[in-house]
Structure 1
Amino acid sequence: MSTLFSPSQIGQMTLKNRFVRSATWENLATEDGHMTERLYDVYEELAQGEVGLIVTGYANIVEEEKPNAGMMGMYNDSFIEEYQRLTDLVHQYDSKIVMQLAYGGTKTTYNVGERIIFAPSEVAERGTQTLGKAMTKEEIDYIVEAFALASKRAQDSGFDGVEIHAAHTYLINQFLSPYYNRRDDQYGGSLENRMRFLVEIYQAIRALVGNDFPILVKLTATEFFEGGLTFDETRKICKELERLGVDAIIISGNIHGNAASLVGEQFDGHTLQSEGYFREYGAVVSQDVKVPVITVGGLSDIGAIEELAATTNIQYFALSRPLLAEPKLIKRWKEEQRNPVDCERCSKCRTKRGNFCVVYNKPNSRANKKVA
C-alpha cells in the first residue's frame, strides 16, 4: 500500500494517513456562528471517508469580526459543548480534527461599514478595496489574547489542535507583508518586527494550551506582486516558527480563484504547477525545516501526490474542492480506485445555500438550525 496511508505524527497527534481536508468555509453555520445539523453531516461524511486530518472552516475569534456569512464561531464559551459533539463524531471514525482560527480583517466585503475592521495600516486590500483601522497597541493585545482564548476553547472542546490562519491577506498575513504593513513601531519595518504579531499570538496560545497541544500555522508562500511578502521572507518566517516550537506549517498562496490561470508562470524563482499549485515552494520549505510541511492547492491526482511524496520532503497533502465533490475520495484511493476525481475545478461550489459541489454532490435536506 502507498506510504500515503502510513501513520505519522504532527507533534503529539498521530494521523492514520497523509491526507488533510484543508480549511474550507462551508457557509452552513447559524448567523452567530453555531453548528447546524448540515455541518455535523459534512464533517461526519469526511471522517467516514478516511480523511486523516480535517481542518475546520475558519472560525472568528471575536464576536464583532465576521468576514463571511455562515462561518463558524469560537469567540466565547457557548460553543464548547456543541464542538465537543463535533470532535466526538469525528474521532469515532479514527480521524483527527483541528480548528482553524482567523481574524479576517480587510479581506472581506461582508457588512463593511457596519463594524470596525482592524488592519496593520490604512492600506486597502487589493482585491476587496476594503480599508481598515490601523491598530493601536491595546487593540493588538486584544486580538492576541482572543486567539489564545479561542485556542483554549478548542482544546476544551476536544479538538486535536489549532491552525493559525496567517495567509491569504487576512490580518496576520497583512502584518507580515511590507505592502500592507507601513507601521513605524515595533510591529513594522523589519521582518523581525512584522513577524512580532504572529509570534505573540503563537506564544500566547502556547502559554494557555501547553506544550503537547499541536499548533499549526498557515502561510502564504509569496504575495505574487511587487512590494509584497517574498518567498525568501516566508522561508525565514518558517525557520523562526520551527525554532519557537510550531508543530506543522501549511504553505499556501494568495491568489484565490486565479491560481489555475497562473499555472506555468514563475514567481520568486518558482513555478506554479497544475497539480499542486504551490508545491515547489512547499518542497523548498520542507528542506529548510524539520517540522512537517503541508502543501495545499490544486491537488486532485493520486499519482501526482505519490510522486510528490516520493521526491520531496513534503509530508502532508491537503485538498478542498475535490472533497466537496467526493467526500469519500480518500477511502476510494485507499481501496485502489484511481479513476479521475469528480471535480471540474469550476469553483462554483460557493452558493447562497452553503458551499458544496453543485455538479456531483448535492446538500442534504436537514434543517439549517442551531443545535445545543
Structure 2
Amino acid sequence: MALEHVLSPLRLGPLTVRNRVATTAHMTGYAENGLVSDTLVEYLTARARGGVGLLITEAGAVHPTYRPASYRLYRDDVGPGLARLAAAVHAEGAVLIGQANHGGAASPPLPDGRPAFSASDNDGLNGAPARAMTHAEIEEIQDAFVRATRVMSDAGLDGCEVHGAHHYLVNHFLSPLYNRREDRYGGSFGNRLRFLAEILEGMRAATRPGFVLGVRLSADIGPGGIDSEAMLAIGRALQDRGLVDFVGFSLGGRTPEAFPLMTGGMERPAGYELPWNELPSRGLTLPTLVTGRYRTLEEADEAVASGTADLIGMTRAHIADPELVRKTMSGRAARVRPCIGCNECQRSIITEGSVRCAVNPSLPGAGTTTDLPHPTRRARRVTVVGGGPAGLEAARAAALAGHTVTLFEETEELGGIARRAARAMPNAPGMLDAIAWSEREVRGAGVDVRLGTRASAETVLATVPDVVVAATGSVPRQGARQTARPGATVAGADLPHVVSSRDVLALTTVPETAVVVDEIGEYEALGVAELLVEAGAHVTFVTPFASVGLPVDATGRASTALGRLRAHGRFTALPLSMVVAITTASVDIEDLLGHTVSTHDAGLVVMVTRATPSRPSWAEDLGVPVEYAGDAVLPRSYRTAVREGYLAATRIEELCGTARPARGATAEVRA
C-alpha cells in the first residue's frame, strides 16, 4: 500500500510536519521531581527516531494547585530539561509540541486539604470538592498558562497545546454543564470561551514569532454539555480570531460513562471517537487531529484520505512499538509489535506511577523491540519450556541477544491459555494479535520450535542447554478457596458442575443459570461472564471486591464490560460477597458485611481463582540453572508474564554462573 496520504507532509503554522502521524499527550510518569528526566527524553526521542511526525508532550502543570505525576512548568529550573528534550527530538526530524494544563476539579486532592479550582462549585475527582474561582484566581491561573508557554518557547519547543478536554479546568469553563457562572466568564457562549481565549491571547504575545499554538477539545458525554456542534463552534471562534494553528479532538472525561471512552479498549474499532469528532474536524479550515485506537498506518491513511482529519493520533500504538512508522515504510509492517488495547499502560500509571505495556516489556525507556539491557558477550544454548506469553518472549529476546534457543510446547500451537481465552471470550481479541506477532518473531529469529513435544529431563538435556527457562504455566486450583475466608471449606465444591474458567472455554452448551465467582478482579472473570451471558445464561456474579472488576477498572475495560452485561438483562452482580455452600442446582451466597445468606439458582459454578504454578519435578535435577517465568512463578497478568520472560532472557549470562551439580540419571543424560 502506498500510504501516500498519511506519509505526506503537513504545514502547521510556519512548520512542516514530515507526515500525518502524531503521538498525543499522555502521562508517562517518567519525569523526576517535576523535571524532564533522561528516561523521558529517551522515551520521546525513540518515537521521533521511529518516524513519528508530531509529538505532543504529556501535560505539564502550570501551577502548584495542579499536581500530576508529570513535569511542572511552574518551576524556575524546568527550562534546561525542556531544551534538552527539544534538541533530541529535533535531531530525529520530528516536531515537538508541549502541552499546558491545569486539572481543576479533576486534580488529585491538594495535600493541605484546600478545595480544587473549577469554573463553578463542582465536585471533583472521586467526589473531592472544588469551588468557583475568584477573578483574582482566574487571572493568576491565566498568567501561569502564559508563563508556561513562554518557558516552552524559550526552550526551543515548536509550540504549545492548551488542554481544554477531559473535564479539566479549561473544559469546565467551556462546558455549560460545569460553568454556571453569572459574570463575564459564564453564561453565554462568548463568556464561557473567554477564559481560554484570554489565555491564548497572552500566549501569542509572550512567545517567539512562529511558535505554534493549539487546543485539545472533547465532548461531554451526556445531554446538556459540549457536543459535536459546540466543539465546532469553539474551534471556529478560535480559528477566526487567529488564536490557534491547530485543533485536536479527543473523547472522554472524569465521569463514569466518559472515562472508558478516553482510551477505548480492544473491543473498540479504529476511529471509534469519530461519531463525536468528525463533524468539528471536517468543519475547520485549520489542521485538525483526531484519535481513537488507530493502530496501523493503513488505518491512519484511510482517515486522512477521507478528509476526516489532517493528523492522526497513534499514541498507544507507539507505546507498544515506537518503530511503527519506520518498519511500515520499509516493508516490515508484519514486524510492528501490535497494541492490543488492554490499557495496561493507563492502569500502570495509577498502580506503579509510570507507563508500562503488556506487550512491550522494555519500558520504561525507549521501549524498542530490540532493547536488551544486557546484550550477550557469549552465545549460550537456551532451552525454553512452554510456549505461552512468557515462553515466547523469553525465546524471542534470548534469540535476539544472540543465543541459540530451543522452545518446547506440548500442544500443537503456541500461545498457551492466553490464546484459547482470546478465541473464546467475546470482545477480547487483542491477545491473538500479540501472540501471532510473538510467534512470527520467534520463528524469524531462528528459534527451534518443537510443538507437540512434552518436556522431560531427557528431552531437555538432549538439547545440551546452558540455561533452561521454565515457562510451564499453571493448573486450575481445586476447590472453592476464597480470600475472604482462606481456610474455609465450601460444601459442594467438589461437585462436577463446579469448574474453572479454563473449563468454560471448552463448553459446547451452557445451562440457564450460572454463578461466576471472581476472586482475582482481573478481566478474566468478566470475560467468562460475558461468554456465558451471550450464550443465553443468566449469570450471578460474586466478588469480594466493593465493585465488579475493581482492580482492573483503571483500564476502563471493566466498566465497559459491565455496561454490555447489564444491557443483556441476564446479569446480577453481588459485590462484597462470597460462596458458602454449593448444591447440584443452587449456591448459597453470603453478604460479607451483613452476613446474610441468599440462595441463587446455578446449573454451573465457575470459580475464577488464582491458579497453581506448574513446576515439573524434573526441573529440579537438571544440573543446569533453571529460571521460572510467568505463571510458573505465580499466575498474574499477561503483562507480568511477558515481562518475566523478557527479564529471564536478559539474565542468561548471569544464570550461567549458578549451575548446580546434576544428580543420578540426570547427569548421565546430560553426558
Query: In the TM superposition, what whole-angstrom CA distance separates every residue of 1:315-365 from its partner, at most 9, and x where no partner exists?
Result: 100122111111111212222333375211111114215112133233258
Q: Which amino acid aligns with 2:344?
A: K
Alignment of 1:233-248 (within 5 A): 233-245=230-242, 246-248=244-246
> Is 1:275–1:301's contact at 8 Å kept on the other side of the alignment?
no
- Cα 1:199–1:364, aligned 2, differ >3 Å: closer, same or farther? closer
Give the Å deviation of 1:302.
2.5
Q: Which moved more, 1:273-282 or 1:325-334?
A: 273-282
CA distance in structure 1 between the partners assigned to 2:222 and 2:64 by the alignment: 32
Letter of the 1:356 partner, please give it: R
- Equivalent residue in structure 2 for 1:13, among 12, 15, 18: 15
Mapped pair 1:360 → 2:360 = yes
Higher relative CO (Cα under 8 Å, sequence separation at least 6) belongs to 1
For 2:25, the equivalent position in structure 1 comes to 23
CA distance in 2, matches of 1:52, 1:365: 20
C-alpha contact 2:217 2:249 (8 A) present in aligned 1: yes
Output one character per residue of 1:150-180: Cα deviation in whole Å (capped at 9) or x when no partner: 1010000010000000000000000111111
Range with bigger deviation, 332-341 or 227-236: 332-341
Cα distance in structure 2, aligned partners of 1:50 and 1:295: 19
The sequence identity of aligned pairs, in percent, is: 28
CA shift, 1:22, in A, is 0.6
Q: What do the CA deviations read for 1:111-170 (whole angstroms, capped 9, x no partner)? A: 465344211111114x63222121011111111111111101000001000000000000
Contact 2:110–2:116 at 8 Å: present in 1 too? no
Alignment of 1:36-115 (within 5 A): 36-66=37-67, 68-69=68-69, 71-111=70-110, 114-115=113-114
Q: Aligned letter for 1:347?
A: N
Distance 1:240 1:263 in 2: 35
Q: Contact 1:6 / 1:18 at 8 angstroms: preserved in 2? A: yes
Alpha-carbon distance between aligned partners in 2 of 1:94 and 1:261, rounded to the nearest angstrom: 30
- Give CA-to-partner distance per residue, 1:220-245, whole Å, 9 cap, x none: 1x211122222221111111011122
User: For the residues of structure 2 that align with 1:287 and 1:211, how far apart are their CA atoms?
Assistant: 28
Which amino acid letter does the alignment assign opposite residue 323 of structure 1?
Answer: H
Query: 2:266 & 2:337 partners in 1: Cα distance?
Result: 20
- Asked whether 1:348 is paired with 2:344, we answer yes
CA distance 1:130–1:226, shift in 2 (3 Å): farther
For 2:533, the equivalent position in structure 1 comes to: none
- Structure 2 counterpart of 1:200: 198
CA shift in 2, pair 1:41/1:259, >3 Å: closer
Tell me the distance in 1 between the aligned counterparts of 2:169 and 2:264.
26
Paired with 2:344 and 2:271, the residues of 1 have a C-alpha distance of 20
Distance 1:188 1:44 in 2: 41
Taking structure 1 as reference, are residues 53 and 326 closer, same or farther at Cα in structure 2, changes over 3 Å only?
same
Do the aligned partners of 1:285 and 1:293 also contact (CA within 8 Å) in 2?
Answer: no
The 2-side partners of 1:262 and 1:190 are apart by 36
Contact 1:257 1:347 (8 Å CA) reproduced: no
Task: Please report the TM-score for the alignment, with normalisation by the length of structure 2.
Answer: 0.50
Q: Judge conservation of contact 1:283–1:312 (CA < 8 Å) in 2.
A: no
Figure out how many residues of one structure are paired with residues of the other and give that number. 353
The whole-number CA distance in structure 2 between the counterparts of 1:242 and 1:185 is: 25
Deviation at 1:277, TM superposition (A): 2.2
5+ residue gaps, structure 1:
265-272, 367-372
AA at the equivalent of 2:168: Y
Residue 94 of structure 1, CA deviation: 0.7
Tell me, in whole angstroms, the C-alpha distance in 1 between the residues paired with 2:186 and 2:95. Answer: 37
SS in 2 for 1:99: strand
* CA distance in structure 2 between the partners assigned to 1:182 and 1:27 by the alignment: 34
1:341–1:295 CA distance, 2 compared to 1 (3 A): farther
- Secondary structure at the aligned position of 1:17 is classed as coil
- Give the letter aligned to residue 340 of structure 2: E
State the alpha-carbon separation in 2 of the partners of residues 163 and 175 from structure 1.
Answer: 17
What secondary structure, in the 3-state scheme, does the structure 2 residue paired with 1:128 have? helix
2:269 to 261, 274, 294: 274
Mapped partners of 2:113, 2:27: distance in 1: 22
Matched, 1:256 2:255: no
Distance 2:365 2:18 in 1: 31
Higher CA-based Rg? 2
Aligned AA for 1:226? P
Give yes or no for the alignment of 1:303 onto 2:306. Answer: no
Residues 182 and 262 (structure 1 numbering): CA distance in 2 closer, same or farther, change over 3 Å?
farther
Instruction: Provide the residue aligned with 1:171 in structure 2.
Output: 169
Residues 273-309 of structure 1: CA deviation (Å, up to 9, x unaligned): 7212222444322332210010012111322222211
Inter-CA distance 243–211: structure 2 relative to 1 (3 Å threshold): farther
Unpaired runs of 5+ residues, structure 2, are 253-257, 367-671
* Alpha-carbon shift at residue 107 of structure 1 (Å): 1.2
Aligned residue among 293, 309, 327 for 2:288: 293
2:145 pairs, out of 144, 147, 150, with 147
Matches of 2:189 and 2:247 in 1, distance apart? 18
Shift of 1:209: 1.2
Q: CA deviation at 1:256?
A: 3.2
Helix, strand or coil: the match of 1:87?
helix
Q: Is 1:128 matched with 2:126?
A: yes
- Spell out, residue by residue over 1:176-196, the C-alpha distance to the aligned partner (whole angstroms, 9 max, x if none): 111111111111111111111
User: Residues 34 and 210 (structure 1 numbering): CA distance in 2 closer, same or farther, change over 3 Å?
Assistant: closer
8 A Cα contact 1:300 1:341, kept in partner: no
Shift of 1:76: 3.3
| 1:230 correspondence with 2:233 | no
Q: CA RMSD in A?
A: 2.2
**Distance (whole Å) between structure 1 residues aligned to residue 153 and residue 198 of structure 2:** 19
Quick one: distance in 2 between partners of 1:290 and 1:77? 37
Q: Is the 8 A contact 2:297 2:325 kept in 1?
A: no
- Whichever residue aligns with residue 361 of structure 1, its letter is P
1:35 aligns with 2:32: no
SS in 1 for 2:105: coil
Q: Are the equivalent residues in 2 in contact too, given 1:120–1:135 (CA < 8 A)? A: yes
The residue aligned with 1:370 is none
1:322 is matched with which residue: 314, 317, 324? 317
Change (3 A) 1:26 1:110: farther
Amino acid at match of 1:230: D
Please give the secondary structure, in 1, of the residue aligned with 2:78: helix
Q: Distance in 1 between matches of 2:66 and 2:262?
A: 28
Following superposition, the deviation at residue 261 of structure 1 comes to 6.9
Query: Residue 214 of structure 2 is aligned with which of 216, 240, 243?
Result: 216
| Greater displacement, 356-365 / 282-291 | 356-365
In the superposition, the TM-score normalised over structure 1's length comes to 0.89
Q: Which residue of 2 aligns with 1:119?
A: 118
